[in-house]
Chains A and B, each alone.
Chain A
Amino acid sequence: MGRTLLRQFLSLIPTFLGITVVIFAVMHLAPGKPTDIVTDLNVKVSLQAKEQLIKLYGLDRPLHQQYLSWFKRTLKGDFGRSFRDGRPVSVKILERIPVTLLINGLALLIILGVSIPLGVASAAKEGSFFDHAVTFLVFIGYAVPTFWIALLALDFFGVRLNWLPVSGLSSLGADRLPIWQRLGDLSRHLILPVGVAAFGDLAGYSRYVRASMLDVLRQDYIRTARAKGLPEKVVLYRHALGNALLPLVTILGLSIPGLLGGSVIFESIFALPGMGRLFYDSVMSRDYPVIMGILVLGAALTLLGNLLADIAYALADPRIRYGERQ
């Protein structure tokens, strides 16, 4: 297995190189130099600072040299400093990651908690009224734009009923409350964004679980289990579910870019200080170092997610785990 994983890991290197080339290319699509925009829009930047920036980013050098020096610094985790406030990009990103991770993590828990039983039940009763109802709802859920649901939920729970806070992660003055009240305040702020984020991917996951479960249920060993007279619950949850969830591991790895992308939209709507919001603000103010940093990090996270999914898959599937020894 070690060799398989090593090969997987090595194959990530050219992909990562490609990623950096694409990011570099996108950044240089813009007419003019990146520094022009900053210096033109911001009168506070002096000519001296502009020259300093040009020198710092080596913008006076040929493109391939610029790429190489940027690439080298990126490998070291040095993404430069933000054009807006001069703070290191890596610090700016790191302080935003927990919020995005928290919301997506909680949303993922809800998604798995709902979609797995739903998909299993609907596959177990294939063709029944329940199955049709679930399929119908999945189709509806799949077509609903997440940001629209976010707005409707804000309007209904936040504005009309005034039950839940509509923006941010804490109420005014919450930092002076005792810890449990602060946690309560935080969770009240999290309900809407997490709920909306979970809703967005629920339909897709339910569909995957159902399809994957149906595949497994058609296999011989399930028929054997049933023929042995095992209770249906044991067949479904002990025998079938484990194998049906294997493909889901890969899907989880593949879903990272989608999750990060989604966070741009609902972090803007709910005014949450996460990575998505940082990216949006940076794009709006043309903060190139931050944009490039987040793009590199986002893509690297995806690569890592895929690698972890491969590892998890290999650990879970004995055919891969023992494959090489035979």
Chain B
Amino acid sequence: MTLSGLVLLGAMLLGASLAPWLSQADPLEIRLEEALVCPSYSHPLGTDQLGRDLLSRMLYGARVSLKVGFIAVGVATLVGVMIGLIAGYWGGWVDGLLMRLVDVMLCFPSIFLILAAVAFLGPSILNLIVIIGLTGWMGLARLVRAEVLTLKEREFIQAAQVIGASPLRILFRHLLPNATAPILVSATLGVGSAILVESALSFLGIGVQPPIPSWGNILTEGEATLGVAWWLTLFPGLAIFWVILGCNLLGEGLRRMWRT
């Protein structure tokens, strides 16, 4: 399970990093005389409405989607871990306030909040990353808090407190390392959902903006050419599916391996 997830994700990462070598065609070069060409030897995945090579666009799109997915999860993990650590360790009203914040954030249909925020701040890739990250930390915060609450009662933490270790040292040297397994599992699963959100936003026209390719905005072209160019719908969706499946397999595999 872990292995098949790694293979799926690894293959996509490799494809994205080797994009210029795997496909010679420029993903942005418009050749109207070659618009909507079926998959063939010269264009393995066909071309889009503007005659751009789909394989190239998919590979460069992978860079964008993976970048957004991984960094957004990085942001979410950072926020979630900090809030979880603080809430779990300090308890009391700090904990109450932070967990209320989690409740509040969980009440929103996240796609609504993201749509509104991206539309108002402008759909740059940086904004996408930050907004997706800031709406995806709640589960992790709860998880880390719960983890800290149980660890706090363990003797080695009490021992550290007794010898006068500072709260910061306890948090980062003793608590955090013992909570890495569930954090990693949650982050792995998170990459899949972040990429799903990014592609849905790009599909709706609020995410990555053309001409920069992303799997989501290629699907928008697929929608426009429904019944004409099946390859514009099939391949980008397959790529999203591939990555999410990879993340889920890897995450679930790690979960079973570490029994978290």
Contact = CB atoms under 8 A, between A and B. Distances in A.
B111 A261 contact: yes
B231 to A, nearest CB: 11
A148 interface: yes
Interface in A258-312: 258-262, 264-265, 268-269, 279-280, 283-284, 286, 291, 294-295, 298-299, 302-303
Interface in B218-260: 219, 222-223, 226-227, 230, 233-234, 236-237, 240-241, 244-245, 248-249, 252
B93 interface: no
B160 to A, nearest CB: 34
B116 A260 contact: no
Contact of B108 (A27, A143, A151, A257): A257
Contacts of A139: 245, 248-249, 252
A148 B240 contact: yes
Contacts of B241: 143-145, 148
A18 interface: yes
A260 B204 contact: no
Interface residues of B, number: 43
A143 B240 CA distance: 8
A245 to B, nearest CB: 23
- Which of A14, A148, A152, A257 has the largest number of chain B CB atoms within 10 A? A148
B92 to A, nearest CB: 16
Contact of A143 (B111, B116, B248): B248
Interface in A207-253: none
A27 B199 CA distance: 24
A142 interface: yes
Contact of B244 (A145, A286, A294): A145
A171 to B, nearest CB: 19
Nearest to B111: A261
B177 interface: no
Interface in A148-197: 148, 151-152, 154-155, 158-160
Contact of A283 (B115, B222, B223, B227): B115
A93 to B, nearest CB: 13
Nearest to A305: B107
Contacts of A283: 115-116, 119, 206
B106 interface: yes
B110 interface: yes
Contacts of B110: 257, 261
A279 B112 contact: yes
A260 to B, nearest CB: 4
A294 B106 CA distance: 16
Interface of B: 100-101, 103-113, 115-117, 119-121, 192, 196, 199-200, 203-204, 206, 219, 222-223, 226-227, 230, 233-234, 236-237, 240-241, 244-245, 248-249, 252
Closest 10 CB pairs of A and B: A148-B237, A159-B227, A261-B109, A18-B104, A261-B111, A30-B120, A143-B245, A257-B109, A143-B244, A260-B109
